[in-house]
Amino acid sequence: MISLFLILLPLAGLLLVWASGKCLKLHVAVINITALLHCAGTAVLWFLPELDDIAPGRVTELLGVDFLSLTVLSVVSFLNLLSSIQTIKYFPMVRQHYMTNAEKFLSPQLVAICLLGFLSSMTLVTVSRNFGLLWVAMEATTLASAPLIIFRRSGNSLEAMWKYILICSVGIGFALFGTMLLAIAGEGSHAGMDMLLLSQADLHPEWFKAAFVFMLAGYGTKMGLAPFQSWMPDAYSEAPGVLSVLSSGALLACSFLGVARVLEIAPDSVRSFCTDLMLVLGLISLALAAFFIVRQNDYKRMLAYSSMEHMGLVSIMWALGLQYVALLHIIIHALLKVVLFMTADNIQLACSTQKISNISGLLGVIKRNGINYILAVLLLCGMPPSPLFFTEMTLIGKNVWLGAVVLVLLFVVFAGMTYHALRMTMGKRSACTADAGEVKKLERLSNIPTVVLVIVLLTGLLLAAGVVSGELAVR
Amino acid sequence: MTELSEIILSILLLIDLALVASSRMLPCIRLAALHGVLIGLFPLALWFSKNDTVPHLEIVVVALIGVLVKGVLLPYLLRMAMYHAKVKRELEPLIGYAGSLAVVVALSGLAFYFWIRGGVTPAGSPILAAPVAFTSMIAGLFIVIARKKALTQVIGFLIFENGITVFGLGMAVECGLLVELGILLDVLVLVFVMGIAMFHINREFSHIDADRLTHLNEVEEDETDDSGESEVKA
């Protein structure tokens, strides 16, 4: 019952933080120890899967893991570990920054509580084997992350939080309706995933279609798919980087898991309907994101639209049946978003602005952050040897016409993102509001992003070596 | 043959329509509370319409907690939010009350028409359940879209969520005790967080008109930052 342990562990940490008062060091310590133990538990699940494994045909009532959930759980756990380590230096730094500027901000205790609650609810999303429980957990992620958006306590962040919580809750409400429809589509009117899987062939096709539409709309809202994405840029531009990292990397993967779970039990007769729907939504997301990225003047919003673009790509991949490629894409996207959102936070602390047009010459101001930023943007756009290059190549090679459309859109995204990133990093030095001491601290905050970049680059090189040696073997 | 569950459903339908047409906050909250109490009692009524025995402990527990959360706690939180935000009534809704009522009645009529023609109700459930559930969902979503005050939007969301619950109960969906309690807990925390958000929005902007929360968007980017900075200064 390791999965239960992984859910309860952050809750125990949460209680500890809540009871411990205002000691910042203790909060950070609790967050980090929880993150480490969580990672360890996830690793144990990988190596000893029989502890929580789901054998085909076995009915687990509520909790259980399989390959898909373990992958997403690992993303959640690893990202949480990275952002927890970042908080060690980030919390005191940000506190000082806001205190000197006499700005209001959320108390670190509440931030710690929300982060731990967020971790627990995301874990529950990944390990739940019941669509009802999945819904409960998904709504809990919204509730746990919403207070973090008003970190800066400004009017804008309140607005972003209100939009986030209202749009996501109504969207997720549709997913609850879809869950009910899904239960009706099954014989026993029960929302357990394994029960539904067992009776996969007998699922009522019309009810299932209706259920899939509503669940795709619901979890698609949370995932940032095209017509339902309006909360995303607002929330990511106002939230602190620590939350954006988790939200963009881990939460989107969790929401995608919700959609993938429904598709998993689709009976053969309606599967093509479902995949077509995902394909269309994915393409619309990609196109809209490309449009908004090109004309963007806020680097955090740009990153939000880039998340939307990649979720669109993942949906397209999944719809085409490229499951493993899509999972690799999710993982690498999550890692690169760690680099980008953490760096974006540092840029914001250094320049006190979120506008691209007000920033230039970052390489002269905060050199290491600037290098990380430009490298991560290039890798995120699929510049080889980025692993995303290989996943996107596979996607494009799968279907010629679709591939051509995707390629054009990817080119637009590439042009837009690199243009903005180059404008920010190169050129004359712009005004930097941070003093020398702060700049030094900000440079130190770039350590984790650098490590993550190295991991991504190594993965890409390994993949490249594999592809090249594979092709040599073929010849 | 009129049964308890059908009476409850009829009252729910009337409350939906009344909510769409009322402008004062306090009656709205009271109606939402009554809605919640009836939803909490609905599973018990369903049980008695199908069986003559004493209901399962599980059903009684869910019903009791449902009544407590939806009929007592949520309205209490809403009233607290109302007093803190000092808002008494919805002024200038985006769509007038008569118009709103007409739209919701028309959509509800469609729901009834199509369900009675083509819907499938499981044995023992009232045929009214699904159309009434759809009406609640439509009315709730309509309130979220067509009303300006943040508080009214929360009430709309609650009615929407109640509608989904009625649908699930009426179609005999078994979620299990844990999931049902989880849903209730989620809704409770949601309203709590939204209430706090409303309190802060009111303090920051001195209003809770959600339609005036338009600083963040793509079109007027230049204005965005100016107003944002002025607010921080203020």
A302 located within any domain: yes
Tokens (6 digits) for B5: 């569950």
Nearest CA-CA distance, residue A208 and chain B, Å? 14
Whether B138 contacts B107, CB under 8 Å: yes
Nearest CA-CA distance, residue A468 and chain B, Å? 44
For range A234-262, the mean pLDDT: 90
Q: What is the pLDDT of residue B179?
A: 84
pLDDT band at B2 (very low <50, low <70, confident <90, very high): low
The end-to-end CA distance of chain B, in Å, is 64
Substitution target in A170, A204, A351, A359 with the highest count of B β-carbons within 10 Å is A170
Whether A396 contacts A313, CB under 8 Å: no
Tokens (6 digits) for A47: 């190596």
Distance between CA B137 and CA B134 in Å, rounded?
A: 5
Q: What is the pLDDT of residue A57?
A: 59
Distance between CA A255 and CA A4 in Å, rounded?
A: 20
Distance between CA A165 and CA B193 in Å, rounded?
A: 9
Whether A376 contacts A340, CB under 8 Å: yes
C-alpha dihedral, A228 to A231 to A234 to A237, nearest 10°: -90
Nearest CA-CA distance, residue B155 and chain A, Å? 12
Residue type at A323 in one-letter notation: Q
pLDDT band at B218 (very low <50, low <70, confident <90, very high): low
pLDDT band at A59 (very low <50, low <70, confident <90, very high): low
The DSSP annotation for A267-288 comes to -HHHHHHHHHHHHHHHHHHHHH
Substitution target in A149, A162, A348, A420 with the highest count of B β-carbons within 10 Å is A162
The chain-wide mean pLDDT, for chain A, equals 88
A236 located within any domain: no
SS3 A386: coil
Res. A293: pLDDT tops 90: yes
The sign of the dihedral angle between the CA atoms of B118, B119, B125, B127 is negative
Nearest CA-CA distance, residue A300 and chain B, Å? 13
Q: What is the pLDDT of residue B224?
A: 40
A9 located within any domain: no
For range A254-280, the mean pLDDT: 92
Instruction: With beta carbons under 8 A apart, name residues in chain B contacting A139.
Output: 183, 186, 190
Chain B residue closest in CA terms to A181: B168
Q: Which of B27-36, B80-89, B122-131 has maximum average pLDDT?
A: B27-36
A53: β partners: A65
Nearest CA-CA distance, residue A89 and chain B, Å? 25
Whether A244 contacts A118, CB under 8 Å: no
Res. B175: pLDDT tops 90: no
Instruction: With beta carbons under 8 A apart, name residues in chain B contacting A150.
Output: 197, 200
- The model's pTM is 0.91
Q: What is the pLDDT of residue A356?
A: 87
The chain-wide mean pLDDT, for chain B, equals 83
The beta-carbon neighbor of B164 closest among A177, A184, A297 is A177
Instruction: With beta carbons under 8 A apart, name residues in chain B contacting A233.
Output: 216, 218
> How many other C-beta atoms are found inside a 10 Å radius of the C-beta of residue A414?
18
A246 located within any domain: no
CB contact under 8 A, B153 and A176: no
CB contact under 8 A, B167 and A177: yes
Per-residue DSSP letter, A65: B
| HSE of A381, CA atoms in CB hemisphere, 13 A | 23
Residue A393 burial (C-beta neighbours within 10 Å; 0-12, 13-18, 19+):
middle
Q: How many domains does one find in chain A?
A: 1
Residue A98 — left, alpha, or beta (φ > 0 → left; ψ -120 to 50 → alpha)?
Answer: alpha
Q: What is the pLDDT of residue A454?
A: 94
Range name among A316-325, A430-439, B126-135 with the lowest pLDDT average: A430-439
Size of interface A-B (CB pairs under 8 A): 134
Q: Between residues 295 and 324 of chain A, which touch chain B (CB distance below 8 Å)?
A: 295, 297-298
Tokens (6 digits) for B9: 């459903």
Q: How far is CA A289 from CA A240, A295, A305, A426, in A?
A: 22, 10, 5, 25
Instruction: With beta carbons under 8 A apart, name residues in chain A contacting B172.
Output: 189
Res. B5: pLDDT tops 60: yes
Residue in this structure with the two tokens 């309140």, named with its chain if needed: A158
User: A471 is in which domain, residue-wise?
Assistant: 280-475
pLDDT band at B230 (very low <50, low <70, confident <90, very high): very low
The beta-carbon neighbor of B215 closest among A155, A165, A166 is A155
The beta-carbon neighbor of B164 closest among A130, A180, A234 is A180
The DSSP annotation for B64-115 comes to HHHIIIIIIIHHHHHHHHHHHHT--B--S-SS-HHHHHHHHHHHHHHHHHHH
Could you tell me if B168 lies within 8 Å of chain A, comparing CB atoms? yes
A348 located within any domain: yes
Could you tell me if A292 lies within 8 Å of chain B, comparing CB atoms? yes
Q: What is the pLDDT of residue B225?
A: 40
Cα–Cα nearest to A412, from A259, A273, A282, A309: A309
A314 located within any domain: yes
CB contact under 8 A, A191 and B179: yes
Percent of chain A predicted with pLDDT > 70: 96
A107 located within any domain: no
Could you tell me if A232 lies within 8 Å of chain B, comparing CB atoms? no
Instruction: With beta carbons under 8 A apart, name residues in chain A contacting B233.
Output: none
Residue in this structure with the two tokens 């054009």, named with its chain if needed: A408
A35 located within any domain: no
Range name among A406-420, B92-106, B153-167 with the lowest pLDDT average: B92-106
Res. A409: pLDDT tops 90: yes
What would the pLDDT profile of A445-467 be if each residue is shown by its tens digit? 888 999 999 999 999 999 888 87
How many Å is the Cα radius of gyration of chain A? Answer: 22
> How many other C-beta atoms are found inside a 10 Å radius of the C-beta of residue A356?
18
Q: What is the pLDDT of residue A412?
A: 94
Q: What is the ipTM of this complex?
A: 0.88
The residue ranking higher by pLDDT, A53 or A395, is A395
Range name among A33-47, A352-366, B6-20, B147-161 with the lowest pLDDT average: A352-366
Cα–Cα nearest to A180, from A202, A207, A201, A217: A207
pLDDT band at B133 (very low <50, low <70, confident <90, very high): very high
pLDDT band at A343 (very low <50, low <70, confident <90, very high): very high
Res. B228: pLDDT tops 50: no
For range B86-103, the mean pLDDT: 81
SS3 B216: coil
Q: How far is CA B76 from CA A331, A388, B15, B149, in A?
A: 44, 51, 19, 18
Res. A318: pLDDT tops 50: yes
What would the pLDDT profile of A365-374 be if each residue is shown by its tens digit? 888 899 999 9
The residue ranking higher by pLDDT, A60 or B118, is B118
Res. B232: pLDDT tops 50: no
Q: How far is CA B198 from CA A116, A407, B147, in A?
A: 24, 44, 15
Whether omega for the bond prior to residue A385 falls within 30 degrees of 0, making it cis, is: yes
Angle at A158 between CA B149 and CA A221, to 5 degrees: 80
Distance between CA B130 and CA A376 in Å, rounded?
A: 51
The residue ranking higher by pLDDT, A229 or A119, is A119
Using the CB atoms, write b or e for B181-196: b if 16+ within 10 Å: bbbbbbbbbbbbbbbb
Cα–Cα nearest to A316, from A291, A296, A289: A289
